[in-house]
């Protein structure tokens, strides 16, 4: 079981970052932006500015998607670095949860989500040659996901989470207490992720508040780490949605005839 002393450094960092999550007033200010460029400018004035540093192609929604997923992975790695090494495997694996619907789409349909071929990690699943695909997945630390896909075939949504949790549980420290409680953040995120790759229209506020309660009730333990990561993903998803909607519907000047 993680002792309070073992968790102290991570707790300080996570509590500080948690306190910087946008509140309702901040979201209203951000979402008053009329264009994607204005939203990015507003975001850059806040504590999560580095999440939009690479967003220089706001007219390309696939670029927005790739860059925010890249920043999510970097943040998961950062949080893992705050924790003892015996917890890092489970933290890194938690970061893969949000990719499961996209991975499933690629495995079922070679033509689905073509932009994934430009994603440095998810592109591994589009490799047609089994040996090349396994080599790429092994290098990305994602080989277990392909093994699950092979085992399940056309698995149902619940099965996808079950398989992912099996691997996640294997990566937890052997003495981790109350795995059923530790898995709650993933279980709260999963219904929206498995339905359409996001939580739009699926009770995101309810999920947000449930995660907040978990975070506050278990602030001195490992549950808070996973709840915090889930909250940060929801933040990233809300930002992504705001940027994509504005990028798609902005009025752009007509090209100048030559």
Extended beta strands in the chain, E state:
none
What is the per-residue pLDDT for 102?
A: 78
How big is the chain, counted in residues? Answer: 258
Contact 185, 229 (CB under 8 A): yes
pLDDT in tens, 109-146: 655 556 666 777 777 776 767 787 777 777 777 777 76
What is the per-residue pLDDT for 254?
A: 47
Q: Where are the domains of the chain?
A: 4-249
- pTM here? 0.86
What is the per-residue pLDDT for 3?
A: 57
The C-alpha atoms of residue 48 and residue 169 are separated, in whole angstroms, by 30
């Amino acid at each position: 079981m993680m002792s309070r002393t073992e968790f102290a450094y991570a707790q300080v960092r996570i509590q500080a970052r948690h306190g910087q999550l946008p509140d309702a007033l901040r979201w209203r200010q951000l979402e008053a932006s009329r264009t994607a460029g204005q939203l990015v400018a507003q975001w850059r004035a806040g504590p999560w500015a580095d999440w939009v540093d690479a967003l220089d192609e706001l007219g390309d929604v696939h670029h927005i998607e790739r860059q925010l997923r890249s920043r999510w992975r970097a943040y998961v790695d950062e949080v893992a670095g705050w924790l003892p090494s015996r917890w890092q495997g489970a933290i890194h694996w938690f970061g893969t949860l949000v990719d499961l619907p996209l991975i499933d789409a690629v495995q079922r349909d070679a033509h689905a989500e073509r932009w994934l071929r430009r994603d440095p990690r998810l592109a591994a699943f589009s490799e047609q040659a089994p040996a090349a695909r396994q080599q790429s997945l092994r290098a990305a630390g994602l080989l277990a996901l392909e093994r699950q896909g092979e085992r399940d075939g056309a698995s149902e949504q619940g099965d996808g989470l079950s398989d992912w949790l099996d691997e996640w549980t294997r990566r937890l420290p052997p003495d981790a207490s109350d795995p059923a409680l530790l898995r709650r953040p993933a279980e709260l995120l999963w219904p929206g992720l498995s339905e359409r790759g996001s939580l739009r229209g699926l009770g995101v506020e309810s999920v947000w508040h449930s995660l907040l309660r978990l975070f506050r009730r278990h602030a001195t333990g490992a549950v808070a780490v996973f709840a915090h990561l889930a909250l940060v993903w929801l933040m990233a998803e809300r930002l992504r949605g705001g940027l994509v909607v504005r990028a798609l519907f902005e009025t752009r000047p007509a090209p100048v005839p030559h």
